[in-house]
Amino acid sequence: MSTTTSSSSSSSPIPGDDTTTSTTENGKLTSSLDMLEKWIEHDDHSYHLNFLNPAQSNKIRVALVEWYRANRRKLPWRGDAGPYDGSTAGYAASASSSNGKGKKRKDEGKDIRSFFASSASSKKKTKTVSSSKSSKSSSDKQKNKKTVEVNQQLQNQEAREVTAYGIWVSEIMLQQTRVEAVIPYWLKWMNSFPTVQDLANATDEEVNSHWAGLGFYRRARYLHQGAKTVVNDENGVVPNTVEELMKVEGIGRYTASAVASIAYGVEVPVVDGNVCRVLSRLTGIANHIKAPVLKDDLGWALAKKIIDVKPIDKQTKESLGTPGEVNQALMELGATYCAPAGSGVDDNDPLKDFYVSTKLGIAIGNAAHSDDPSVRSRVESLVAASTERSKQCKLCDSGGVATAYYNMLERMTSDLSTNSKTKPETIYAISGHASLPIPPPKKSKREEVIAVAVISAQIDKEQCWLMMKRPSEGLLAGQWEFPSTCVWNSSEKAKKEKKGKDKKKAGSKPAAVQVPIIDPDVRSDALDSLLSDIFQASDKHSTDDINKRVQLKNEPIVHIFSHVSHTMWVEHKHVDEEVHNEIWRLNDREVGWLTESMMATVGITSGVRKVLSAVQK
């Protein structure tokens, strides 16, 4: 990584711009300004596709494949033996701290493998620092012990065969979950269900317990159902075309394309959020990575340009890699050197010379700091006009160019004032890279206030807990939890407000949701009613004591999922009663008394674990 040396971007040709022939300083500035003006004024998505013309895509593919072969993460589903390469999180965090802010990244100058190793050790260091501040709880110690054990197991793993089923499982697990978290789950899963047939034969409970802790439980249900379909309809053979794969439950275009290209070598692109980021930076797309036009539509056409590359001159097919290698390289690059905090000027980044983002940053920096003030004002009037143009590029957000432009300017101004060691041109390049893609529109999380009843008793003298299985659809589908009821949620509030006359201005930020403290009597009444229904549905248990619950603490337990936050007020009651090991139903939900060992077999979610450990403290 060379943030303190001159960025090589300034001397490399601008991709897709064959007019860059001048070598004089003035000539370079003129062509850089010309390129900037073309970006601001473009009004058709073909502008972006042109950066991936066959010659340019060929170079990009060769660079990607070379990088991937030398540096790819060692992972069990890729047929590697342990130990495995894990985190990319530290990379992004440390990269951002160097970007023009004067601090050197710890991993500066290292390749990706040593980064993975160092991120693990730097995590350990952070833990030591924090543990000296606050004494570690025994559950933290237990967790660490478990982590050490898991890591030892991972060291000793033998290489496994790469199979379409193994790739399918890994891709489903990797959706919304980091690689390092997935590795032990994938290994345990493949040990218990080594084939599609084994998975199809497993019970719902077995599947749930193997998924517990990974979140987004619908994925597990679909995977299970999908395995049954493959066994019943396809003789247990995972289909080898995108079209056929997409007929299987839980397999959408992304997973189908990943399985087809990685396991069967089918020539199709794979586009996820990380790939969208790489594409935005490679071709100057001023949009956010979840924009449907990019993620679901034209992003695929752009990535296909790299997949469709044919050998030129004496190039061997081998040097262009397989579609699986190219797709994984793009995804992996987007998770590492081209993560949100990637600089775009790192010497280890294989696409460093190809990013339009860094070139735009340099052009904007040069225009803003030109001796001739009319240059900046001309650029800014073009930017202003770009937001008013009616005919827009389909790939860019309507105000995307202006957003990216002003974010670049703001970032470089701030970095120039705090970092005198880095060359201005490098700061410009990094600012350009950091500002593409643009940030997504802000969306506030849904908030729910939940009253939770933790009722404990005994089965054969062992402590047990009254639990309910969640419905088979929706959040945490099919998972066991303590009886609970939602007493307030922000979407109801939002609906009421929508009916009112104070409509929000388009594009204005959503106001932060204030979570109210619901009257304790209201919470208790709601639980009384739920528990009364539960025990009426079972003829074996009395409800006498159940209403004498005590509130656990004076504050709620907050558990945050990706898109919803649960504020849980917990009430506890231990009944001195021997209860029965049985399951009964309340409407469409199962209810029963579960011991901790029973919980371990069905698997409980991290939210439930949080409540349980609070009660046990």
Q: Which residues are catalytic?
A: 171
Q: Which is nearer to ligand ADE, 174 or 368 (CB)?
A: 174
Return the range that interacts with ligand ADE (CB under 6 A); candidates 31-39, 153-161, 327-335, 489-497: 327-335
- Binding to ligand ADE (CB under 6 A) within 261-290 occurs at 262
Q: Which is nearer to ligand ADE, 211 or 593 (CB)?
A: 211
Least gap, CB of 327 to ligand ADE (angstroms):
7
Cα angle value 290/291/297 (rounded, 5°): 105
Listing DSSP states for 148-203 in one string gives HHHHHHHHTPPP----HHHHHHHHHHHTTS-HHHHHHHHHHHHHH--SHHHHHHS-
CA 450 – CA 493 distance, rounded (Å):
15
Q: Cβ distance 478 to 598 under 8 Å?
A: no
Q: Cβ distance 211 to 603 under 8 Å?
A: yes
Least gap, CB of 455 to ligand ADE (angstroms):
41
Listing DSSP states for 570-612 in one string gives EEEEEEEEE--S-EEEETTEEEEEEEHHHHHHH-B-HHHHHHH
Listing DSSP states for 402-448 in one string gives HHHHHHHHHHHHHHHHH-SSS-HHHHHHHHHHHTSSPPPPP-PPEEE
Is residue 80 close enough to count as binding ligand ADE by CB under 6 A? no
Least gap, CB of 307 to ligand ADE (angstroms):
14
Q: Which is nearer to ligand ADE, 98 or 119 (CB)?
A: 119
Q: Which is nearer to ligand ADE, 69 or 509 (CB)?
A: 69
Listing DSSP states for 523-539 in one string gives HHHHHHHHHHHHHHT-S
Q: Helix, strand, or coil here: 270?
A: coil
- Binding to ligand ADE (CB under 6 A) within 285-324 occurs at none
- HSE at residue 8, side-chain half, CA atoms within 13 A, is 15
- Binding to ligand ADE (CB under 6 A) within 535-564 occurs at none
Coarse DSSP helix, strand, coil percentages of the chain, rounded to the nearest 5 percent: 50, 10, 40
Q: Which is nearer to ligand ADE, 262 or 285 (CB)?
A: 262
Residue type, 493: K
Least gap, CB of 375 to ligand ADE (angstroms):
42
Return the range that interacts with ligand ADE (CB under 6 A); candidates 312-320, 325-333, 380-388, 460-468: 325-333
Judged by CB under 6 A, the residue of 332, 415, 425, 571 near ligand ADE is 332
Smallest Cα–Cα separation from 4: which of 113, 94, 89, 105?
105
Is residue 107 close enough to count as binding ligand ADE by CB under 6 A? no
Least gap, CB of 123 to ligand ADE (angstroms):
20
Helix axes 204-211, 179-192, angle to 10 degrees: 150
Least gap, CB of 252 to ligand ADE (angstroms):
13
Is residue 85 close enough to count as binding ligand ADE by CB under 6 A? no
Least gap, CB of 171 to ligand ADE (angstroms):
5
Least gap, CB of 365 to ligand ADE (angstroms):
33
Listing DSSP states for 139-156 in one string gives HHHHHHHHHHHHHHHHHT
Least gap, CB of 182 to ligand ADE (angstroms):
9
Size of the site for ligand ADE (CB under 6 A): 8
Q: Which is nearer to ligand ADE, 282 or 408 (CB)?
A: 282
- Binding to ligand ADE (CB under 6 A) within 172-191 occurs at 174
Least gap, CB of 292 to ligand ADE (angstroms):
20
Q: Which is nearer to ligand ADE, 328 or 357 (CB)?
A: 328
Smallest Cα–Cα separation from 453: which of 544, 560, 570, 546?
570
Cα distances (angstroms) measured from residue 89 to each of 145, 148, 289, 356? 22, 19, 18, 25
Q: Helix, strand, or coil here: 487?
A: strand
Return the range that interacts with ligand ADE (CB under 6 A); candidates 232-240, 326-334, 393-401, 414-422: 326-334
Q: Cβ distance 23 to 439 under 8 Å?
A: no
Is residue 328 close enough to count as binding ligand ADE by CB under 6 A? yes
Residue found under tokens 């001796």 = 371
- The closest residue (CB) to ligand ADE is 331
Return the range that interacts with ligand ADE (CB under 6 A); candidates 330-338, 383-391, 524-532, 544-552: 330-338
For residue 447, list its beta bridge partners.
565
Judged by CB under 6 A, the residue of 171, 325, 397, 571 near ligand ADE is 171
Q: Which is nearer to ligand ADE, 335 or 412 (CB)?
A: 335
Q: Which is nearer to ligand ADE, 262 or 289 (CB)?
A: 262
- Binding to ligand ADE (CB under 6 A) within 48-77 occurs at none
Is residue 331 close enough to count as binding ligand ADE by CB under 6 A? yes
Return the range that interacts with ligand ADE (CB under 6 A); candidates 23-31, 206-214, 329-337, 341-349: 329-337
Smallest Cα–Cα separation from 3: which of 91, 103, 116, 118?
103
Q: Helix, strand, or coil here: 247?
A: coil
End-to-end CA distance of the chain: 48
Q: Which is nearer to ligand ADE, 9 or 88 (CB)?
A: 88
CA 205 – CA 589 distance, rounded (Å):
15
User: Applying CB under 6 A, which residues contact ligand ADE?
Assistant: 171, 174, 258, 262, 328, 331-332, 335
